[in-house]
A and B are shown apart, each in its own frame.
Chain A
Amino acid sequence: MLAYLSRRALLAVFTVWAISVLSFAIIQLPPGDYVTSYIAQMASSGSVVSEEEAQNLRIQYGLGQPIYVQYLKWMRLVVVGNFGMSMEWRRPVAEVIGDRLWMTVIVSVSALLLTWVLALPIGIYSAVRQYSPGDYAATFAGFIGLAVPNFLLALVVLYLGFVLFNANIGGLFTLELQDAPWSAAKAWDLAKHLPIPALILGLAGTAQQIRIMRANLLDELRKPYVVTARAKGLTAWQVILKYPVRVALNPFASTIGYTLPYIVSGSIIVSLVLGLPTVGPLLLRALISQDMFLAGTIVLLLGVMTVIGTLISDILLVWIDPRIRLEAT
């Protein structure tokens, strides 16, 4: 178990490193360096950057030095939480991102939880009542869920909400509470707004999980131990929930590692359509205005967040599956 966990942790470290290199590459990609863009940005708004100030910035970011020196300088700043300045907002990147990262976490995690809450019972039902109308309905809904890209789904839901209820169902807060400090009322408001984005984001994952759960459980249900349990007089649901479901749960948990990056990815673009205050809209704006420190930081933080989530799911897997827990060495 320790070997397994340390292997996963090591992989996570490598992943974070790969993500940091990629984020740095994104910062570096646009033509010209940070300082030239900064000067151009300032010039376009009418102010002039003095030669001295430009020189100081060049030294701070090691511009003109080899690329790995620049990377290391950037990393050293990042590790202590200094993500650089956002050109467009003229404020430190960390300040601009602020709450939005947590909003992304909240939206993604609730989508993930919703995926489980829906997929588990539906998957079990579909397997136990194979070929029933309910099973067909679930399969059909599943295919739709897999085929409709979530941003299109968001668009359709938004449209329907607008036309049928004449209400804007986007956003995470009502207007009055948007900039209010945190309070119980604001949290309740958030809870009321969360289900729709969570459902949209989680639908594709749910569809996939239902199919996995159904297939796994069907395999298990045919095994002799189920017959034995039934012969010994356990009630139908006891038989199903106590043994085969637990076995079928294993691949279910191990797919979180792939579901989470998918949900985080999706949250970016769905947030744009629904107008959620996550890092999504911020990232798009930063990329379009070439505010590269902001964009790079968001990519980095999203990546790190996903890696942490995956690591948690690995630990969960160890807890669920004794075969991994009890594995020698």
Chain B
Amino acid sequence: MATVALPVEEQRIFVASQWQLMWWRFRKHKVAVASGAVIIGFYLVVLGADFLAYSDPDASEAQRSLMPPQPIYWLDGGSFYPHVYGLKGARDPKTFKRVYVADPSQKIPLRLFASGFEYRFLGLIPTTRHLIGVDPDLDASKTIFLLGTDVQGRDLWSRLMYGTRISLTIGLLGVTMSLVLGVVLGGLSGFSGGAVDTLIQRVIEILRSIPTIPLWMGLAAALPRDWTILQVYFAITIIISLLGWTELARVVRGRFLAMREEDFVVSARLVGCTRFRTIFVHMVPSFMSHIIAATTLALPAMIISETALSFLGLGLRPPAVSWGVLLQQAQNVQTVAISPWLMAPAVPVIVAVMAFNFLGDGLRDAADPYGR
């Protein structure tokens, strides 16, 4: 029998592990890879929020209310000299509103790794270094606000960094909780079938046909007013995950049903594996990839829910900072029309949601490397 020499590429495929095949397939989905990079970037911000912020997110000063963003100028007379222009406060002669104008004669130099407020890097190393900042030797009136300030005069950029930390971890925690609920209930439903399956399916159907936002609002509003930030944080996480597990449960159940009659599952049962062992040692690894994809696709909904609740003033409450809390200031269209930079926190929300959607799509396609 003559052996047909296969190209190296194809031989590689025969010996590759399943995860390797998935990675190769995922790599082809360029948008998903780029989205993955964006998301890694977001979580780096989560880790280093205090390093990227340059001023205390809670430091407010009425004098600096609603200052516009100061763009960075990189060059000064041809040489590299990053700086921002100082702002001059003035009164609008017609409306008597306080307005700020850039003052090109006043250049505030930016420093890399400037020292600022004290924090613990990664929660461990105490330091005062921040990525950028103004020279601390300059007098206190020399400040930078890359994204402007809010009504209370707090720096929006620094608050956005801290907000990213809370918004993205709350999504991650919420999705983890939904995942546990979804896998347990979906698995139970798919594995046992019969009355249990019917019951769980009906519960899912009922939950899915209820408008969630009014319910969330009701539950969130019932949280005691005197709870600490941490308590509210966990309560909100539980509320959004409580109603978000249905889609994950549906995916898990579908996988279980498809796999229940597969040869390897039947053999596992026949050699006397316990039900627990059959599920967690043999079945779960083979649909792990599907779960990861479904989880990624569930994350945006969590982020949006938190943002929406906090936006309404029912979710996280100040002094906690999240994207939704920041957007609260943009509720009034008159304020936004005068200070459009208050809408800046909408950008990371949209980018994160889009990136998670693309990544999830790519992962879902890659999850089944033997398909089409």
Give me the interface of A with B, judged by CB distance under 8 Å: 11, 14-15, 18-19, 22-23, 26, 29-31, 143-144, 146-149, 151-152, 155-156, 158-159, 162-163, 168, 170, 257-258, 261-262, 264-266, 268-269, 272-273, 283-284, 287-288, 290, 295-296, 298-299, 302-303, 306-307, 310
Alpha-carbon separation in the docked complex, A262 to B308 (Å): 14
Chain B, 321-372, CB within 8 A of any chain A CB: 327, 330-331, 333-334, 336-337, 340, 343, 346, 349-350, 353-354, 357-358
Alpha-carbon separation in the docked complex, A87 to B346 (Å): 36
* Residues of the B chain whose Cβ atoms lie less than 8 Å from the Cβ of A310: 209
Q: Is A155 in contact with B330, judged by CB distance below 8 angstroms?
A: yes
The verdict on B202 contacting chain A, using a C-beta distance below 8 Å, is: yes
Instruction: With A26-B219, A143-B354, A147-B357 as known contacts, state yes or no: A159 contacts B209, CB within 8 Å.
Output: no
* Residues of the B chain whose Cβ atoms lie less than 8 Å from the Cβ of A272: 312
Q: Tell me how far the C-beta of A8 lies from the nearest C-beta in chain B, rounded to whole angstroms.
A: 10
* Residues of the B chain whose Cβ atoms lie less than 8 Å from the Cβ of A147: 300, 350, 353-354, 357
Q: Tell me how far the C-beta of B324 lies from the nearest C-beta in chain A, rounded to whole angstroms.
A: 10
* 7 further interface pairs, Cβ-Cβ under 8 Å (given A159-B340, A258-B208, A284-B313): A29-B222, A146-B357, A152-B346, A155-B343, A268-B217, A272-B312, A287-B218
Contact among B219, B313, B334, B354 with A29 in the assembled complex (CB-CB below 8 Å): B219
Alpha-carbon separation in the docked complex, A144 to B354 (Å): 8
Q: Is A15 in contact with B206, judged by CB distance below 8 angstroms?
A: yes
Q: Is A15 in contact with B349, judged by CB distance below 8 angstroms?
A: no
Alpha-carbon separation in the docked complex, A272 to B214 (Å): 13
Q: Is B214 in contact with A302, judged by CB distance below 8 angstroms?
A: yes
* Residues of the A chain whose Cβ atoms lie less than 8 Å from the Cβ of B308: 149, 151, 269
The verdict on B205 contacting chain A, using a C-beta distance below 8 Å, is: yes
* Residues of the A chain whose Cβ atoms lie less than 8 Å from the Cβ of B221: 30, 287-288, 290, 295
Alpha-carbon separation in the docked complex, A258 to B300 (Å): 18
The verdict on B211 contacting chain A, using a C-beta distance below 8 Å, is: yes
Alpha-carbon separation in the docked complex, A297 to B312 (Å): 20
Alpha-carbon separation in the docked complex, A26 to B210 (Å): 15
Alpha-carbon separation in the docked complex, A11 to B203 (Å): 10
* Residues of the A chain whose Cβ atoms lie less than 8 Å from the Cβ of B340: 159, 163
The verdict on B213 contacting chain A, using a C-beta distance below 8 Å, is: yes
Give me the interface of B with A, judged by CB distance under 8 Å: 202, 205-206, 208-215, 217-219, 221-222, 224, 300, 304, 307-308, 311-314, 327, 330-331, 333-334, 336-337, 340, 343, 346, 349-350, 353-354, 357-358
Q: Is B210 in contact with A306, judged by CB distance below 8 angstroms?
A: yes
Instruction: With A11-B205, A31-B224 as known contacts, state yes or no: A299 contacts B218, CB within 8 Å.
Output: yes
Q: Tell me how far the C-beta of B239 lies from the nearest C-beta in chain A, rounded to whole angstroms.
A: 12
* Residues of the B chain whose Cβ atoms lie less than 8 Å from the Cβ of A22: 210, 215, 218
Instruction: With A15-B209, A264-B211, A266-B213 as known contacts, state yes or no: A296 contacts B218, CB within 8 Å.
Output: yes
Q: Tell me how far the C-beta of B168 lies from the nearest C-beta in chain A, rounded to whole angstroms.
A: 15
Q: Is A168 in contact with B312, judged by CB distance below 8 angstroms?
A: no
Chain B residue with the shortest CB-CB distance to A257 = B209
Q: Is A265 in contact with B337, judged by CB distance below 8 angstroms?
A: no
Q: Is B209 in contact with A155, judged by CB distance below 8 angstroms?
A: no
Contact among A159, A265, A290 with B214 in the assembled complex (CB-CB below 8 Å): A265
Contact among A18, A143, A149, A273 with B357 in the assembled complex (CB-CB below 8 Å): A143
* Residues of the A chain whose Cβ atoms lie less than 8 Å from the Cβ of B304: 149
* Residues of the B chain whose Cβ atoms lie less than 8 Å from the Cβ of A143: 354, 357-358
Q: Is B218 in contact with A302, judged by CB distance below 8 angstroms?
A: no
Alpha-carbon separation in the docked complex, A228 to B312 (Å): 56
Instruction: With A155-B330, A265-B211 as known contacts, state yes or no: A149 contacts B313, CB within 8 Å.
Output: no
Interface residue SS majority, chain A:
helix
Q: Is A14 in contact with B206, judged by CB distance below 8 angstroms?
A: yes
Instruction: With A143-B354, A155-B346 as known contacts, state yes or no: A287 contacts B314, CB within 8 Å.
Output: yes
Chain A residue with the shortest CB-CB distance to B309 = A269
* Residues of the B chain whose Cβ atoms lie less than 8 Å from the Cβ of A266: 213
28 A–B contact pairs at CB < 8 A? Answer: A15-B210, A19-B210, A22-B210, A22-B215, A23-B218, A26-B219, A29-B219, A143-B358, A147-B354, A148-B350, A149-B307, A155-B346, A156-B346, A159-B333, A162-B336, A163-B337, A265-B211, A268-B213, A268-B214, A269-B312, A273-B331, A287-B314, A288-B221, A290-B221, A299-B218, A303-B211, A303-B214, A307-B209
Q: Tell me how far the C-beta of B356 lies from the nearest C-beta in chain A, rounded to whole angstroms.
A: 9
* Residues of the B chain whose Cβ atoms lie less than 8 Å from the Cβ of A296: 218
Q: Is B210 in contact with A303, judged by CB distance below 8 angstroms?
A: yes
Q: Is A295 in contact with B206, judged by CB distance below 8 angstroms?
A: no
Instruction: With A15-B206, A18-B206 as known contacts, state yes or no: A152 contacts B350, CB within 8 Å.
Output: yes
Q: Is A11 in contact with B202, judged by CB distance below 8 angstroms?
A: yes
Q: Tell me how far the C-beta of A152 lies from the nearest C-beta in chain B, rounded to whole angstroms.
A: 5
| CB-CB nearest 6 A-B residue pairs | A29-B222, A287-B221, A26-B218, A265-B213, A147-B354, A264-B211
Q: Is B311 in contact with A284, judged by CB distance below 8 angstroms?
A: no
Q: Tell me how far the C-beta of B313 lies from the nearest C-beta in chain A, rounded to whole angstroms.
A: 7
Q: Is A298 in contact with B214, judged by CB distance below 8 angstroms?
A: yes
Q: Tell me how far the C-beta of A68 lies from the nearest C-beta in chain B, rounded to whole angstroms.
A: 20
* Residues of the B chain whose Cβ atoms lie less than 8 Å from the Cβ of A155: 327, 330-331, 333, 336, 343, 346
Alpha-carbon separation in the docked complex, A122 to B302 (Å): 29
Chain B residue with the shortest CB-CB distance to A17 = B206
Chain A residue with the shortest CB-CB distance to B346 = A152
Q: Tell me how far the C-beta of B213 lies from the nearest C-beta in chain A, rounded to whole angstroms.
A: 4
* Residues of the A chain whose Cβ atoms lie less than 8 Å from the Cβ of B222: 26, 29-30
Q: Is A284 in contact with B336, judged by CB distance below 8 angstroms?
A: no
Contact among A18, A152, A268 with B210 in the assembled complex (CB-CB below 8 Å): A18
Q: Tell me how far the C-beta of A100 lies from the nearest C-beta in chain B, rounded to whole angstroms.
A: 13
Chain B residue with the shortest CB-CB distance to A29 = B222
Q: Is A299 in contact with B215, judged by CB distance below 8 angstroms?
A: yes
Q: Tell me how far the C-beta of A316 lies from the nearest C-beta in chain B, rounded to whole angstroms.
A: 15
Alpha-carbon separation in the docked complex, A173 to B344 (Å): 30
Q: Is B312 in contact with A284, judged by CB distance below 8 angstroms?
A: yes
Q: Is A29 in contact with B206, judged by CB distance below 8 angstroms?
A: no
Q: Is A162 in contact with B202, judged by CB distance below 8 angstroms?
A: no
Instruction: With A158-B333, A284-B312, A290-B221 as known contacts, state yes or no: A149 contacts B353, CB within 8 Å.
Output: yes
* Residues of the B chain whose Cβ atoms lie less than 8 Å from the Cβ of A257: 209
Q: Is A288 in contact with B313, judged by CB distance below 8 angstroms?
A: yes
Chain A residue with the shortest CB-CB distance to B358 = A143
Alpha-carbon separation in the docked complex, A143 to B78 (Å): 42
* Residues of the A chain whose Cβ atoms lie less than 8 Å from the Cβ of B212: 261, 265
Q: Is B209 in contact with A284, judged by CB distance below 8 angstroms?
A: no
Q: Which of B218, B300, B337, B350 has the most CB of A within 10 A?
A: B218
